[in-house]
């Protein structure tokens, strides 16, 4: 639409560029103007509809006509497009993410103390439960990506699974009421609530960020980058408020004759999740909704299965002398070459960030072992005439506060400074730096734990017989801040970059799946924690300070993960057309006919069109 009909030698043709001495018929939907000779000098301005990425707008174009020819049209109008640099819809998406993260982190903040103090689990068992929940929350992201890309689309996936999410939060709040699950309280309510929350939050995780990315036009790469930064900023703003508020509700509000009010502490996150759903639905009429595709993910796994089976089969067949450019091409008689190339790209991206799971194994222990470390520290102090109590689970608040400070510092000052001197920090370098800093933070945690045990005297908590608390010689809880600062720097380097890397490097047809693959690294990290905690290799040696030696063990594991990542990242080639739309077609299996495919021995694969 908006193209001109060029007449040359009495014939019409559609053209985007005009040769010299071509007469232009400027008849458009906006009106009719006098024809111009393309070879004459001068400049004429005319209005007509133009299209940007398939969206019709109205604006002004100028053609510069010189004796040398016609220059490309220059867009000089479109005041509405210039004024509206960002789509309106992203504000609904960011608002939804803020409320949802408030709900998730608010519930998660009080979960360690709830498991030990209210349900009576031992610290190691509670740690296993916490990381099992974390694993499920991120593992279900794969199924969210499949639902989104293949059947429901991103909008409906987010909508339906948010409803499941709301029910899970309600179950957590109701079953925390005394007597609902029995006396003493039973664990089934907690298990059901965490399962539903895991399905809900996991299912929408790969969809929300990519749904926000879908609202942008292909030429808005800078705006897209800012969106991902603001998106992550909203995540941490919501988590910061919730990690401050929900522990206070748990500790300072007394209800139903108990010292802690878990129904209220879980109830507030439940309300915020409902608000998140309402905010998301409010923008329904304005969203750009990409249609679901034709079973791309199922075809992807079918391709993997077929190719693996045929590759193994070919190894044991001595008379098979066919050569393939890549092992996935073993299934080239059933799938288009373009689909195989997209699958190859997805596997490459998955492979390069797979060692990131070691980072998340350490990072998510902020919500388990670092909380139990804080329990052993002095949390009551006198500051400027005020008696201040820092609850153990509130120390995680420092991570969220530092995120809000460090994201703009990194994006506005640190990265541009390196760009100006011609030494830009590429995405994989940033991820590698994040993994290295995570290692340093656990070295600091181990040293701190050795000092805590060496200086302090501990006894059973008067309110919780399952917890050891410091009674004298206690280390101030603020000594945890340095390790929180280092691991937050690691998170900014790795996590913000990883979201954008997974989206930009993915083929157009599999962006939600690639986002899910990134989130699966978090599931993998929590799975590693579960396995190591259940095996408990430190207990084999029976050391006095098991927690400190446990931190040392994780330092060694992180070092191995960082080394593996460095090796994979060195061979990775960035997708140069990351800001282009890429292929948008729906893939269909090829019929296995000789007219479409020819595989010849001792020659590369030949695909005939």
What Rg value do the Cα atoms of the chain yield, rounded? 29
Strand partners, 44: 63
Residue 284 has pLDDT above 50, yes or no: yes
Q: How confident is the model at residue 464 (pLDDT cuts 50, 70, 90)?
A: low
What would the DSSP string read from start to end of 170-182?
HHHHHTTSTTSS-
Q: How confident is the model at residue 316 (pLDDT cuts 50, 70, 90)?
A: confident
Which residue has tokens 């210039």?
82
Predicted local confidence at residue 293, as pLDDT: 65
Which residue has tokens 């190691």?
124
Q: What is the mean pLDDT of the chain?
A: 78
Residue 232 has pLDDT above 80, yes or no: no
pLDDT one-digit tens code per residue, 539-556: 887 777 888 999 999 999
Predicted local confidence at residue 318, as pLDDT: 63
pLDDT one-digit tens code per residue, 442-452: 999 999 999 99
Mean pLDDT of all residues in 312-334: 76
* Least confident piece of the model among 54-68, 201-215, 303-317: 54-68
Half-sphere exposure of 444 (CA within 13 A, CB side): 17
CA distances from 225 to 86, 302, 414 (A): 12, 33, 16
Give the H/E segment covering residue 65: strand 55-66
Residue 315 has pLDDT above 70, yes or no: yes
Residue 514 has pLDDT above 50, yes or no: yes
- Identify which has the larger pLDDT, 120 or 593: 120
Predicted local confidence at residue 325, as pLDDT: 74
Strand partners, 42: 65
Predicted local confidence at residue 163, as pLDDT: 96
pLDDT one-digit tens code per residue, 63-93: 444 434 444 444 444 444 444 578 888 999 9
Distance (Å, whole) CA 190 – CA 116: 13
Predicted local confidence at residue 554, as pLDDT: 95
Domain boundaries, the chain: 4-83, 89-292+346-570, 296-335+584-607
- Identify which has the larger pLDDT, 228 or 101: 101
CA distances from 409 to 289, 402, 431, 492, 494 (A): 34, 10, 17, 10, 15
* Least confident piece of the model among 202-206, 243-247, 550-554: 202-206
Mean pLDDT of all residues in 175-201: 92
- Ramachandran area for residue 366 (φ above 0: left; ψ -120 to 50: alpha; else beta): alpha
- Identify which has the larger pLDDT, 320 or 269: 269
Give this prediction's pTM. Answer: 0.73
Predicted local confidence at residue 582, as pLDDT: 41
∠ CA 434-129-266, nearest 5°, is 95
Q: How confident is the model at residue 489 (pLDDT cuts 50, 70, 90)?
A: very high
- Identify which has the larger pLDDT, 508 or 553: 553
pLDDT one-digit tens code per residue, 13-32: 444 444 444 444 444 434 44
Residue 559 has pLDDT above 90, yes or no: yes
Q: How confident is the model at residue 587 (pLDDT cuts 50, 70, 90)?
A: very low
> Is the CB of residue 138 less than 8 Å from the CB of residue 520?
yes
> Please, which residues have CB within 8 angstroms of residue 436's CB and are 6 or more apart in sequence?
490, 562
Predicted local confidence at residue 134, as pLDDT: 92
Residue 361 has pLDDT above 90, yes or no: yes
pLDDT one-digit tens code per residue, 396-428: 888 888 888 898 899 889 989 988 888 888 888
Q: Which sign does the torsion angle of CA 534, 535, 541, 545 carry? A: negative
Predicted local confidence at residue 600, as pLDDT: 30
CATH code that applies to domain 89-292+346-570: 1.20.1250.20
Mean pLDDT of all residues in 580-604: 33
DSSP SS3 for 262: helix
Residue 470 has pLDDT above 90, yes or no: no
Q: Which sign does the torsion angle of CA 111, 113, 116, 120 carry? A: negative
Of the candidates 366, 496, 358, 530, the one whose C-alpha atom is nearest the C-alpha of residue 436 is: 358
Predicted local confidence at residue 282, as pLDDT: 93
Q: How confident is the model at residue 502 (pLDDT cuts 50, 70, 90)?
A: confident
Predicted local confidence at residue 117, as pLDDT: 86
Residue 595 has pLDDT above 70, yes or no: no
Residue 516 has what DSSP assignment? H
Distance (Å, whole) CA 7 – CA 207: 48
């Amino acid at each position: 639409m908006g193209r001109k009909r060029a007449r040359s030698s009495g014939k019409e043709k559609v053209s985007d560029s005009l040769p010299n001495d071509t007469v232009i018929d400027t008849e458009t939907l906006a009106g009719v103007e006098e024809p111009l000779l393309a070879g004459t000098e001068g400049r004429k301005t005319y209005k007509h509809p133009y299209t940007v990425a398939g969206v019709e707008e109205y604006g002004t174009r100028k053609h510069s006509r010189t004796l040398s020819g016609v220059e490309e049209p220059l867009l000089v109008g479109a005041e509405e497009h210039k004024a509206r640099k960002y789509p309106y819809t992203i504000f609904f998406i960011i608002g939804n993410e803020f409320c949802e993260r408030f709900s998730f982190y608010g519930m998660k903040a009080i979960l360690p103390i709830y498991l030990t103090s209210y349900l009576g689990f031992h610290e190691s068992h509670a740690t296993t439960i916490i990381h099992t929940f974390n694993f499920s929350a991120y593992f279900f992201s794969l199924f969210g990506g499949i639902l989104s890309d293949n059947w429901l689309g991103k909008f409906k996936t987010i909508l339906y699974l948010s409803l499941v999410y709301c029910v899970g939060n309600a179950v957590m709040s109701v079953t925390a009421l005394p007597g609902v699950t029995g006396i003493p309280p039973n664990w089934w309510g907690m298990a059901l609530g965490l399962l539903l929350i895991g399905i809900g939050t996991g299912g929408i995780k790969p969809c929300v960020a990519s749904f926000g990315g879908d609202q942008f036009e292909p030429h808005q790469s800078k705006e897209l980058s800012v969106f991902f930064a603001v998106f992550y900023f909203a995540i941490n703003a919501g988590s910061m408020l919730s990690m401050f508020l929900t522990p206070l509700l748990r500790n300072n509000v007394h209800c139903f004759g108990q010292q802690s009010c878990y129904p209220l502490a879980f109830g507030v996150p439940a309300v915020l999740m409902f608000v998140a759903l309402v905010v998301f639905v409010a923008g329904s009429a304005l969203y750009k909704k990409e249609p679901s595709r034709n079973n791309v993910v199922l075809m992807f796994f079918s391709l993997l299965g077929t190719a693996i089976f045929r590759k193994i089969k070919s190894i044991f067949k001595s008379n098979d002398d066919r050569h393939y450019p890549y092992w996935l091409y073993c299934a080239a008689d059933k799938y288009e070459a373009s689909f195989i190339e997209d699958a190859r790209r997805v596997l490459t991206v998955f492979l390069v960030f797979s060692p990131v799971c070691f980072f998340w194994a350490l990072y998510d222990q902020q919500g388990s072992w670092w909380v139990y470390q804080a329990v052993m520290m002095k949390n009551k102090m006198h500051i400027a005439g005020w008696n201040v109590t820092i609850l153990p689970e509130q120390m995680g608040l420092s991570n969220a506060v530092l995120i809000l400070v460090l994201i703009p510092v990194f994006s506005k000052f640190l990265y541009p400074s390196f760009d100006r001197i011609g030494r830009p920090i590429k995405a994989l370098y940033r991820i590698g730096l994040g993994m290295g800093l995570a290692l340093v933070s656990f070295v600091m945690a181990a040293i701190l734990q050795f000092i805590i045990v060496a200086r302090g005297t501990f006894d059973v908590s008067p309110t919780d017989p399952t917890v050891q608390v410091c009674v004298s010689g206690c280390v101030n809880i603020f000594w945890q801040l340095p390790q929180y600062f280092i691991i937050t720097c690691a998170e900014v380097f790795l996590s913000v970059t990883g979201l954008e890397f997974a989206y930009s490097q993915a083929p157009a047809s599999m962006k939600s799946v690639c986002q899910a693959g990134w989130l699966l690294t978090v599931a993998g990290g929590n799975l590693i924690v579960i396995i190591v905690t259940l095996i408990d290799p430190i207990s084999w040696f029976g050391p006095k300070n098991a927690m400190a030696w446990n931190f040392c063990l994780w330092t060694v594991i992180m070092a191995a993960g960082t080394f593996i990542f460095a090796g994979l990242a060195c061979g990775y080639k960035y997708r140069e057309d990351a800001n282009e739309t890429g292929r948008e077609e729906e893939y269909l299996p090829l019929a296995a006919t000789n007219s479409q495919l020819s595989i010849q021995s001792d020659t590369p694969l030949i695909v005939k069109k």
